[in-house]
Structure 1
Amino acid sequence: MSNEIKIGDYVVIQKQNYKKLHKFNKADSSISLGRDTVNLKGIDGCPYFSVFKMIPKSSKRNRDYTVELAQEAVKLKDEIDIKVSGSDNRNILDDGNSQKLSASDIETLKSDSNKASDIVGTLINNSNTFHNKTEFSQDKYLRKKEKKYFEYFQVIKPNLRVISEIMYKLDPGKIQNLRIDTLSQIITMVNIHSEGNHLLYDSGSNGLVAAALLSVIGKDTNGKLLHMHPGNMSQKQALLAMNFPEEQLNRCVSVNVYSALRQFYQGCDTNNGVDKDIQTSENDENPLKRKADETDEHQSKKMKQEEDEELVESLDKTDGDKPRGNKKPKWHFDNIAASEILQNKMDSLVIACKEDPQNIFNELVSFVKPGRPFVIYYSAVEPLQQLYLTLRPRANVAALKLTCNWMRNYQVLPERTHPEVTMNGASGYLLSGYVLK
């Protein structure tokens, strides 16, 4: 992965404590940072972790900015020299009359000033109460104003921790409340290594689990990640955001779980339709195998429609060219590759699902080598408790353990270190163990 920002890469834009994931598609692409719209022209080719200053295009009232490279981000506290502070705030009244400037004066000040420190410095000089506040209150005021008027942002190279943090803060439900500490436990419990074949079933983490496992497998290795999913397309946002090189991305084979199982069990050409006579009694008993027929039939019909459309287009284009018929889709070859990997057995199994994990585990555990680990992640504990009770009497699994993580965030400031007042303590549950036979 290059250390320079390139068009086509995913980048992380950080403005103070706010981070945003952005696909840098073109040189003059824009990004919204709160109410500000920032044109990113000028960041292409700069090193990652560079700091850029936001320059107003015309007036600050429009909140449209261009960027220029800066040496470092300048904080308000470093530019504004505060010499006097009070001992306590008991005599300060919030009566709305502490600021001498009117609202129109402040708007004019925002438009005419080129630096945030000029705006905040003028507000402080026209305040009747600022110099009577305690040092902590003054610092809190500056941090609040800095958040509003801060002129700098930094472009960060995406990594697993940053992507996980962004997705968790944005909407934990879209990644099944999967926090970075729980993600690290998954990697540790299944002993991911660079030379093995690893099986993942993921039905809703936006590719976060796949990104974590593929990151550990690495680039110059013989390892493979078989990424199974229930839909027609896998969720890959986090996987693509890691900016893995093509060689590393090719080590991840993403397949629909139902079509891949049909290919493995029946070894038939999934592009030629569904032979109803092939269905076995085992298929009827197992909902995954039964669903394989239904899903594969849907894919076959879709592929037949695509072939017919291509045939018509090729006939209309030229008189002499032959139509391109019997073209196989990419998922067809992915299913064959997945079947070959499954035949060699897997070195680990990871399940992160929204549906009941019992049928999924019962089907996929048969592909895992003896003595290899598995871990199942679920956002609620009840399905894992039921699965734990089901597996405990069995002889093919051992060392079952049901755990959950509880991580507490702390604010660390001089003389003000304490746990954060509001935080999300939930990050799902893990059922882990080893396959014996």
Structure 2
Amino acid sequence: MSRGVISVGDYIVIQKQNYKKLHKYNKANSCVNIGRDSVNLSGLEGCEYFSVFRMLPKNNKRNREYDLEITQETVDLKSEIDVKISGIDNRNIFDDGLSQKLTAAEIDDLKSDANKASYIVETLISNSNTFHNKTEFSQEKYLRKKEKKYFEYIQILRPNLRMISEILYKLDPSKIQGLRTDTLSQIITLCNINCEGNHLLYDSGSNGLLAAALLSAIGELSDGKLIHMHPGNMSQKLALMAMNFGAEQLDRCISVNVYSALRQYYQGCDTNSNENLSVLENSTENELKRKADDVIDHKSKIAKIDNLTDDKNNIVSLTDSHKIDQSEPKKPKWHFLNIAASQLLSNKVDSLVIASKEDPQNIFKELSAFVKPGRPFVVYYNVAEPLQQLYMTLKSQNNIAALRLTWNWMRNYQILPERTHPEVMMNGSGGFLLSGYILK
């Protein structure tokens, strides 16, 4: 399938006005909740991204269950409802609850019977005692409020890094360590990601956002690789999988537990065969499981053959030895990922990125030894104090250059005629960055 067409298993972004939701499209469970509405997505397969769909109620609008019908464009209420009369000011308008002539039951019946949202709003306006006395600005605000409530169009977007970053940040900033879009862009710039190098990332809880950003910067047609270290048994990969990378690009990200990978590097467990290591280094992640069946420890096999004798002290045949090898338990996938990561670490990496919830002092001390001379590093933390301590420690060393502690402060602005101003509700901090270059 073309990348411009929605396929089963893809992550999609559902947009309804300013609201965006990240969702994995699956035919088995194709219903998704958008606010209080339940929308059936079963007809999306094969449609192009950025298509617009109209929400059609299944039985009646009281159940809030909808099917989708593809359409060419959306229609906003302001263009369909022509308001010609407006007041000078709102001083004589009081919210006494009696301005609307229709009862709650009549409004519910209207929602069930009406085919278009504009008809519902027009009926509400015609039965309002105060709407035409409001100022033009108040009328526009009222229409925006009703449009948000009765808007019946959604658009399916293809996820990109900016969308995923904004969705996860609005959902819960603490789940991505408070990483804002502008801070994420600074990390990519400061660590000088390129398509040919090998890069090292330690991430302890950004929901895969940093791994997705770095892998996206490495690119699809490249030879670069990313070692994604994490403290847990499983890495967080929501943002990484939501990017819908191809298998070849995903295989460039080697996700390993930091403790297991370092133990493999220093102790070299089960890495006697250099030939096997070279095979693993050049393998893609999808091929690791298949190649794991073919990788047999040569010394272990010889020892088993020497020890296995029959009643007459004869050496057992190679056929029996092969059967015994087949009965041995297979080594898990993470074992071979550790070997691949260890091999890349032994050749040094071209950049280091750390985004930790723990104190970064020891993490940086351990991982900076794997960075090539003259290569950059970036350490992210959502508060300044741990980075200030690390700054003072590195400042006293002679192997760090261009050390900088920076803080991004981005202001979002509302851009409207005669009312352009910073948004009232916004987060003041996007985290802190400590960056520099390792000399030796």
1:370 aligns with one of 370, 373, 379: 373
**Residue 229 (structure 2) aligns with:** 228
Contact 1:196 1:223 in 2 (8 A): yes
Cα 1:346/1:322, change in 2 over 3 Å: closer
Q: Which amino acid aligns with 2:78?
A: K
* Inter-partner Cα distance in structure 1 for 2:327 and 2:20: 47
Shift of 1:181: 0.2
Shift of 1:269: 2.6
**Is 1:41 aligned with 2:42?**
yes
**Residue 208 (structure 1) aligns with:** 209
- Could you list the per-position Cα deviations for residues 130-160 of structure 1 after superposition, in whole angstroms to 9, with x for gaps in the alignment? 1111111111101100111110000000000
2:418 aligns with one of 411, 415, 431: 415
Cα 1:256/1:118, change in 2 over 3 Å: same
* Inter-partner Cα distance in structure 1 for 2:327 and 2:220: 35
**Residue 244 (structure 2) aligns with:** 243
Contact 1:199 1:350 in 2 (8 A): yes
Shift of 1:86: 1.4
Shift of 1:188: 0.5
Contact 1:27 1:42 in 2 (8 A): no
- Could you list the per-position Cα deviations for residues 81-112 of structure 1 after superposition, in whole angstroms to 9, with x for gaps in the alignment? 11111121122111111111111111111111
- Segments of structure 1 that go 5 or more residues without pairing to the other structure are 271-319
Shift of 1:400: 0.7
* Inter-partner Cα distance in structure 2 for 1:180 and 1:268: 40
Following superposition of structure 1 onto structure 2, how do residues 40-79 of structure 1 map, counting pairs within 5 Å?
40-79=41-80
Shift of 1:357: 0.3
Q: Which moved more, 1:261-270 or 1:380-389?
A: 261-270
Contact 1:7 1:27 in 2 (8 A): no
**Residue 148 (structure 1) aligns with:** 149
**Is 1:82 aligned with 2:86?**
no
**Is 1:342 aligned with 2:375?**
no
2:401 aligns with one of 394, 398, 422: 398
Q: Which amino acid aligns with 1:51?
A: V
Which ranges of 4 or more aligned residues in structure 1 deviate by more than 6 Å?
Answer: 320-323
Shift of 1:27: 6.6
Classify the secondary structure of the residue corresponding to 1:337. helix
* Inter-partner Cα distance in structure 2 for 1:232 and 1:75: 49
Classify the secondary structure of the residue corresponding to 1:97. coil
* Inter-partner Cα distance in structure 2 for 1:147 and 1:321: 68
Following superposition of structure 1 onto structure 2, how do residues 37-436 of structure 1 map, counting pairs within 5 Å?
37-269=38-270, 324-436=327-439
Classify the secondary structure of the residue corresponding to 1:14. strand
Q: Which amino acid aligns with 1:199?
A: L
- Could you list the per-position Cα deviations for residues 324-376 of structure 1 after superposition, in whole angstroms to 9, with x for gaps in the alignment? 42301110110010011111111000000000000000000000000000000
* Inter-partner Cα distance in structure 2 for 1:392 and 1:157: 44
* Inter-partner Cα distance in structure 2 for 1:430 and 1:22: 31
Classify the secondary structure of the residue corresponding to 1:375. strand
- Could you list the per-position Cα deviations for residues 197-222 of structure 1 after superposition, in whole angstroms to 9, with x for gaps in the alignment? 00000000000000000001011111
Q: Which amino acid aligns with 1:348?
A: S
Q: Which moved more, 1:231-240 or 1:21-30?
A: 21-30
**Residue 30 (structure 2) aligns with:** 29
**Residue 295 (structure 2) aligns with:** none
Classify the secondary structure of the residue corresponding to 2:27. coil
Q: Which amino acid aligns with 2:126?
A: N
Mark the structure with the bigger radius of gyration.
2
Classify the secondary structure of the residue corresponding to 1:101. coil
Q: How many residues align?
A: 388
* Inter-partner Cα distance in structure 2 for 1:321 and 1:334: 26
* Inter-partner Cα distance in structure 2 for 1:15 and 1:402: 39
- Segments of structure 2 that go 5 or more residues without pairing to the other structure are 272-322
* Inter-partner Cα distance in structure 2 for 1:19 and 1:91: 38
Shift of 1:321: 12
Q: Which amino acid aligns with 1:81?
A: D
Cα 1:414/1:382, change in 2 over 3 Å: same
* Inter-partner Cα distance in structure 2 for 1:72 and 1:6: 22
Structure 1 vs Structure 2 CA RMSD: 1.4
* Inter-partner Cα distance in structure 1 for 2:29 and 2:423: 39
Q: Which amino acid aligns with 1:203?
A: S
Output the TM-score relative to the length of structure 1. Answer: 0.87
* Inter-partner Cα distance in structure 2 for 1:369 and 1:359: 19
Contact 1:27 1:40 in 2 (8 A): no
Classify the secondary structure of the residue corresponding to 1:184. helix
Q: Which amino acid aligns with 1:396?
A: N
* Inter-partner Cα distance in structure 1 for 2:22 and 2:120: 30
Shift of 1:432: 0.4
- Could you list the per-position Cα deviations for residues 50-103 of structure 1 after superposition, in whole angstroms to 9, with x for gaps in the alignment? 000000000100000000001111111111111111121122111111111111
Classify the secondary structure of the residue corresponding to 1:388. helix
* Inter-partner Cα distance in structure 1 for 2:386 and 2:26: 42
* Inter-partner Cα distance in structure 2 for 1:402 and 1:321: 59
Q: Which amino acid aligns with 1:65?
A: Y
- Could you list the per-position Cα deviations for residues 291-329 of structure 1 after superposition, in whole angstroms to 9, with x for gaps in the alignment? xxxxxxxxxxxxxxxxxxxxxxxxxxxxx9996423011
* Inter-partner Cα distance in structure 2 for 1:138 and 1:180: 35
Q: Which amino acid aligns with 2:357?
A: K
Classify the secondary structure of the residue corresponding to 1:46. coil
